[in-house]
Amino acid sequence: MAVAASSELAFRAQLVVPEQRQLYDYWVGRADGRSMPGRGDIAPSDFPGLLPLISLIDVEPEPQRFRVRLAGTRLREVFDREITGAYLDDLDWGDMTEYWLSAYKRVVQAQKPAQGMVRGPRKAKEHLVQFWLRLPLSSDGKRVTMILCYDAFVPSAEAGEFQFDRQSVFASSGASVSF
Protein backbone atom coordinates (compact mmCIF):
# COMPACT_ATOMS: atom_id res chain seq x y z
CA MET A 1 0.00 0.00 0.00
CA ALA A 2 2.88 2.39 0.74
CA VAL A 3 4.24 1.84 -2.78
CA ALA A 4 0.85 2.73 -4.30
CA ALA A 5 0.60 5.85 -2.16
CA SER A 6 4.15 6.81 -3.12
CA SER A 7 3.50 6.41 -6.85
CA GLU A 8 0.24 8.37 -6.52
CA LEU A 9 2.11 11.22 -4.84
CA ALA A 10 4.83 11.17 -7.48
CA PHE A 11 2.27 11.25 -10.29
CA ARG A 12 0.29 14.01 -8.57
CA ALA A 13 3.45 16.10 -8.16
CA GLN A 14 3.81 16.17 -11.97
CA LEU A 15 0.39 17.77 -12.46
CA VAL A 16 0.96 21.43 -13.27
CA VAL A 17 -2.59 22.80 -13.47
CA PRO A 18 -4.51 22.94 -10.14
CA GLU A 19 -7.67 21.57 -11.79
CA GLN A 20 -5.69 18.50 -12.87
CA ARG A 21 -4.78 17.84 -9.23
CA GLN A 22 -8.40 18.41 -8.21
CA LEU A 23 -9.70 15.83 -10.72
CA TYR A 24 -6.89 13.37 -9.98
CA ASP A 25 -7.58 13.55 -6.22
CA TYR A 26 -11.27 12.98 -6.94
CA TRP A 27 -10.43 9.97 -9.17
CA VAL A 28 -8.15 8.44 -6.49
CA GLY A 29 -10.87 8.92 -3.86
CA ARG A 30 -13.49 7.30 -6.09
CA ALA A 31 -11.19 4.35 -6.78
CA ASP A 32 -11.36 3.65 -3.03
CA GLY A 33 -8.31 1.37 -3.03
CA ARG A 34 -9.04 -0.24 -6.41
CA SER A 35 -6.73 0.25 -9.38
CA MET A 36 -9.38 2.49 -10.99
CA PRO A 37 -12.98 3.54 -10.38
CA GLY A 38 -15.89 2.71 -12.67
CA ARG A 39 -17.91 5.22 -14.64
CA GLY A 40 -20.70 4.77 -12.11
CA ASP A 41 -18.37 6.02 -9.36
CA ILE A 42 -17.92 9.36 -11.12
CA ALA A 43 -20.53 12.08 -10.63
CA PRO A 44 -19.96 15.10 -12.90
CA SER A 45 -21.98 17.18 -10.45
CA ASP A 46 -19.01 16.83 -8.08
CA PHE A 47 -16.80 18.98 -10.36
CA PRO A 48 -19.10 21.32 -12.33
CA GLY A 49 -16.42 23.95 -12.89
CA LEU A 50 -14.28 21.45 -14.81
CA LEU A 51 -16.99 20.17 -17.17
CA PRO A 52 -16.24 22.48 -20.14
CA LEU A 53 -12.79 20.86 -20.43
CA ILE A 54 -13.82 17.28 -19.57
CA SER A 55 -14.32 14.47 -22.04
CA LEU A 56 -15.22 10.80 -21.73
CA ILE A 57 -13.70 8.39 -24.21
CA ASP A 58 -15.14 4.92 -24.83
CA VAL A 59 -12.55 2.20 -25.37
CA GLU A 60 -13.68 -0.24 -28.04
CA PRO A 61 -11.62 -3.43 -27.63
CA GLU A 62 -11.53 -5.23 -31.01
CA PRO A 63 -10.22 -3.60 -33.05
CA GLN A 64 -9.09 -1.10 -30.44
CA ARG A 65 -10.57 2.32 -31.17
CA PHE A 66 -11.43 5.32 -29.06
CA ARG A 67 -14.77 7.12 -29.45
CA VAL A 68 -15.64 10.43 -27.82
CA ARG A 69 -18.73 9.70 -25.73
CA LEU A 70 -18.92 13.23 -24.37
CA ALA A 71 -16.89 16.39 -24.94
CA GLY A 72 -17.08 19.59 -22.93
CA THR A 73 -18.08 22.83 -24.63
CA ARG A 74 -14.56 24.34 -24.58
CA LEU A 75 -13.24 21.34 -26.50
CA ARG A 76 -15.59 22.28 -29.33
CA GLU A 77 -13.67 25.57 -29.57
CA VAL A 78 -10.32 23.80 -29.84
CA PHE A 79 -11.54 21.39 -32.53
CA ASP A 80 -13.68 24.00 -34.28
CA ARG A 81 -16.55 21.50 -34.28
CA GLU A 82 -18.54 19.16 -32.09
CA ILE A 83 -16.48 16.03 -31.45
CA THR A 84 -18.97 14.04 -29.38
CA GLY A 85 -19.48 10.74 -31.21
CA ALA A 86 -16.28 11.05 -33.26
CA TYR A 87 -13.47 8.51 -33.22
CA LEU A 88 -10.10 9.91 -32.13
CA ASP A 89 -8.37 8.57 -35.23
CA ASP A 90 -10.79 10.60 -37.38
CA LEU A 91 -9.99 13.93 -35.71
CA ASP A 92 -7.73 16.52 -37.32
CA TRP A 93 -4.57 16.13 -35.22
CA GLY A 94 -2.13 17.01 -37.99
CA ASP A 95 1.20 15.34 -37.26
CA MET A 96 0.13 14.63 -33.65
CA THR A 97 -2.18 11.68 -34.45
CA GLU A 98 0.26 8.96 -33.35
CA TYR A 99 1.17 10.90 -30.21
CA TRP A 100 -2.46 11.05 -29.11
CA LEU A 101 -3.38 7.49 -30.03
CA SER A 102 -0.31 6.17 -28.19
CA ALA A 103 -1.27 8.17 -25.09
CA TYR A 104 -4.71 6.55 -24.99
CA LYS A 105 -3.30 3.09 -25.73
CA ARG A 106 -0.80 3.50 -22.92
CA VAL A 107 -3.57 4.27 -20.42
CA VAL A 108 -5.44 1.14 -21.53
CA GLN A 109 -2.39 -1.13 -21.45
CA ALA A 110 -0.94 0.15 -18.17
CA GLN A 111 -4.36 0.65 -16.53
CA LYS A 112 -2.89 3.79 -14.96
CA PRO A 113 -3.34 7.53 -15.40
CA ALA A 114 -1.18 9.49 -17.81
CA GLN A 115 -0.51 13.19 -18.18
CA GLY A 116 1.52 15.49 -20.31
CA MET A 117 1.98 18.81 -22.01
CA VAL A 118 1.95 19.54 -25.72
CA ARG A 119 2.56 22.70 -27.70
CA GLY A 120 0.16 23.04 -30.58
CA PRO A 121 -2.32 20.31 -29.63
CA ARG A 122 -3.73 20.09 -33.14
CA LYS A 123 -3.50 21.63 -36.57
CA ALA A 124 -4.27 25.39 -36.56
CA LYS A 125 -3.92 25.63 -32.76
CA GLU A 126 -0.15 26.03 -32.57
CA HIS A 127 -0.61 29.13 -30.41
CA LEU A 128 -1.86 26.96 -27.51
CA VAL A 129 -0.15 24.76 -24.94
CA GLN A 130 -2.27 21.84 -23.76
CA PHE A 131 -1.88 20.32 -20.31
CA TRP A 132 -3.67 16.98 -20.43
CA LEU A 133 -4.72 14.30 -17.96
CA ARG A 134 -6.11 10.84 -18.81
CA LEU A 135 -7.73 8.73 -16.07
CA PRO A 136 -8.80 5.12 -16.70
CA LEU A 137 -12.26 3.86 -15.73
CA SER A 138 -13.46 0.26 -15.67
CA SER A 139 -16.95 -1.23 -15.91
CA ASP A 140 -15.77 -4.67 -14.76
CA GLY A 141 -12.83 -3.83 -12.46
CA LYS A 142 -10.43 -5.66 -14.77
CA ARG A 143 -9.99 -3.71 -18.00
CA VAL A 144 -10.15 -0.07 -19.03
CA THR A 145 -13.48 0.54 -20.74
CA MET A 146 -13.55 4.34 -20.61
CA ILE A 147 -11.08 7.19 -20.09
CA LEU A 148 -11.92 10.37 -18.18
CA CYS A 149 -10.00 13.29 -19.67
CA TYR A 150 -9.22 16.83 -18.59
CA ASP A 151 -7.51 19.26 -20.97
CA ALA A 152 -6.37 22.77 -20.04
CA PHE A 153 -5.34 25.08 -22.87
CA VAL A 154 -3.05 28.04 -22.25
CA PRO A 155 -1.87 30.57 -24.84
CA SER A 156 1.81 29.88 -25.59
CA ALA A 157 2.76 33.39 -24.48
CA GLU A 158 1.42 32.62 -20.97
CA ALA A 159 2.77 29.06 -20.72
CA GLY A 160 6.27 30.31 -19.88
CA GLU A 161 5.26 30.58 -16.25
CA PHE A 162 5.25 26.77 -16.19
CA GLN A 163 8.94 26.76 -17.28
CA PHE A 164 8.73 24.04 -19.92
CA ASP A 165 11.27 24.11 -22.69
CA ARG A 166 10.46 20.84 -24.48
CA GLN A 167 7.95 20.32 -27.27
CA SER A 168 5.99 17.80 -25.23
CA VAL A 169 6.04 15.90 -21.97
CA PHE A 170 4.39 12.51 -21.46
CA ALA A 171 4.25 10.82 -18.07
CA SER A 172 2.29 7.96 -16.57
CA SER A 173 2.09 6.52 -13.04
CA GLY A 174 -6.99 27.41 -13.69
CA ALA A 175 -5.36 28.95 -16.50
CA SER A 176 -7.49 31.29 -18.56
CA VAL A 177 -7.73 30.51 -22.22
CA SER A 178 -8.46 32.53 -25.30
CA PHE A 179 -9.05 30.80 -28.61
Quote the pLDDT of residue 152. 94
Question: What pLDDT is recorded for position 160?
Answer: 62
| Lateral strand order in the sheet of 168-172 | 65-71, 54-60, 146-155, 128-137, 114-119, 168-172
What are 115-149's pLDDT values in tens digits?
999 887 777 788 888 999 999 999 998 999 999 99
- CATH architecture of structural domain 2-42+50-172: 2-Layer Sandwich (3.30)
| Domain residue ranges in the chain | 2-42+50-172
| pLDDT computed for residue 161 by the predictor | 58
* pLDDT higher than threshold 50 for residue 82: yes
Banded model confidence at residue 168, pLDDT cuts 50, 70, 90: very low
Q: What is the mean pLDDT of residues 62-82?
A: 93
| Identity at 100, one-letter amino acid code | W
| Higher-confidence position of 45 and 179 | 45
